[in-house]
């Protein structure tokens, strides 16, 4: 690619070098004056000139750097995600439902979490808590119908908090990542007097592709092997609690670059899910962790900072 000199540099040269059309998803463009525009609804009809916005903020006494959040982009992405899965559901005549669950560890800012709850309420979207402070915040911020998934390290206090939330009518599902967590959940649920809803993270042979591929697969640090999951089901059956096995979770890796790896992981997980259901598990949810990537460099490839698929292909 030839590089123009400063004398004949054009707006198109700037657009080409920054690849706005490749990674911006319609949310960013450059105006004739060379300023960056933000389109909160991913369409050209509505735009915000960042230079003008920053100047006005400085006039109010604010100093750089300034963090600017566009709730319109957040809402539009959630709508797109829901619409992609709804189209896939309709096309394949799937009889179940899709629920997006947002891990608040990704962005714990109150304003962001509140908007995700607001925009996702009509679709039944949920939240994931990975610690005791996160669980307290999520329970306080959400309505009873919002599902809450608990991942991460779980000591007795964390499990007790989840069980107390279930006791007051919340849908809280702690996900077992070590076998000892199951024994603690059953013991503490009995002490509190609730019938728990329990999820299990299973290690798959398949794993993702990319920089964080080690977070998935059979050799990952977290999760139970298939043998351990079957042992856990027997443990629950012996206590007449097989119906408490409500969710099967797997994590093929974050920022998956190649959709072929994701398909392999889903096929493997579905076979395990069906077998567990036949054995008497009260499964209702298949929880796919990680997965959907971000095309950071705009190459639309299976490079580590990209992805070779669209959101619709991911949903399909």
pLDDT at 229: 98
- Cβ contact 238:265 at 8 Å: no
CA–CA separation, 276 and 252 (whole Å): 19
Query: Which strands form 48-49's sheet, in the order they lie side by side?
Result: 28-30, 36-38, 48-49
- Greater confidence (135 vs 253) lies with 135
Q: How far apart are CA 45 and CA 119, in angstroms?
A: 21
In the numeric block, which tokens belong to residue 205? Answer: 């042979």
CATH 3.20.20.70 describes domain 197-316: no
CA distances 155 to 139, 160, 184, 241, Å, are 18, 9, 8, 21
From CA 233, how far away is CA 276, in angstroms rounded? 8
Torsion of CA 285, 289, 294, 300, to 10 degrees: -80
Compare 206 and 24 and report the one with higher pLDDT: 24
Read off the pLDDT band of 15 (50, 70, 90): confident
Q: Cα 54 to the chain's mean position, in Å? A: 31
Domain definitions of the chain by residue range: 6-59, 74-178, 197-316
Closest among 108, 115, 103, 117 to 289, alpha carbons compared: 103
pLDDT of residue 212: 47
Q: Dump the DSSP string for 161-177.
A: HHHHHHHTT--EEEEES
- C-alpha to C-alpha distance for 176 and 197, rounded to whole angstroms: 11
Strands 48-49 and 36-38: antiparallel
Question: pLDDT of 51-84, one tens digit each?
Answer: 999 999 999 999 999 999 999 999 999 999 999 9
Nearest CA to 246 out of 222, 273, 221, 282 is that of 282
Those residues whose C-beta lies under 8 Å from the C-beta of residue 256, and which sit 6 or more positions away, are 208, 209, 210, 262, 290, 291, 292, 293, 307
Edge to edge, the sheet with strand 172-176 lists: 101-103, 126-129, 148-150, 172-176, 198-201, 245-250, 285-288
Two tokens, residue 245? 């096995």
Per-residue pLDDT tens for 234-251? Answer: 999 999 999 999 999 999
Single out the residue of 240, 135, 247 nearest to residue 190, CA to CA.
Answer: 240
Question: Which tokens sit at 266?
Answer: 């889903």
| Overall average pLDDT of the 101-112 stretch | 93
Q: What is the pLDDT of residues 133-177, one digit of tens each?
A: 999 999 999 999 899 999 999 999 999 999 999 999 999 999 999
CATH 2.30.30 fits 74-178, yes or no: no
Q: Within its chain, how far is the Cα of 183 from the centroid?
A: 28
């Amino acid at each position: 690619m030839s590089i123009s000199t400063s004398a004949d540099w054009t707006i198109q040269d700037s657009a080409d070098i920054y690849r706005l059309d490749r990674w911006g998803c319609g949310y960013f463009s450059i105006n004739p004056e060379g300023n960056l525009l933000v389109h909160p609804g991913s369409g050209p009809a509505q735009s915000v000139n960042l230079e003008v916005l920053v100047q006005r903020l400085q006039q109010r006494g604010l100093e750089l750097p300034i963090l600017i959040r566009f709730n319109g982009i957040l809402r539009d992405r959630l709508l797109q995600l829901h619409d992609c899965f709804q189209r896939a559901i309709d096309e394949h005549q799937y009889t179940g439902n899709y629920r997006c669950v947002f891990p608040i560890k990704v962005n714990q800012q109150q304003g962001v979490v509140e908007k995700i709850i607001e925009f996702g309420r009509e679709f039944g979207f949920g939240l994931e808590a990975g610690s005791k402070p996160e669980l307290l915040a999520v329970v306080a911020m959400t309505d009873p119908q919002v599902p809450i998934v608990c991942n991460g390290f779980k000591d007795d206090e964390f499990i007790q908090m989840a069980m107390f939330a279930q006791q007051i009518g919340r849908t809280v599902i702690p996900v077992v990542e070590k076998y000892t967590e199951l024994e603690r959940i059953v013991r503490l649920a009995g002490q509190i007097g609730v019938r728990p809803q329990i999820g299990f993270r299973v290690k798959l042979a398949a794993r993702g592709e990319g920089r964080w591929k080690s977070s998935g697969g059979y050799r990952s640090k977290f999760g139970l092997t298939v043998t351990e999951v079957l042992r856990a089901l027997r443990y629950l059956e012996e206590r007449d609690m097989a119906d408490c096995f409500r969710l099967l979770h797997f994590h093929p890796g974050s920022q998956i670059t190649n959709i072929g790896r994701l398909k392999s992981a889903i096929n493997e997980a579905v076979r395990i899910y069906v077998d567990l259901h036949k054995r008497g598990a009260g499964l209702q949810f298949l929880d796919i962790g990680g997965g959907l990537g971000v095309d950071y460099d705009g190459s639309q490839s299976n490079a580590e900072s990209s992805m070779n698929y669209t959101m619709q292909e991911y949903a399909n």
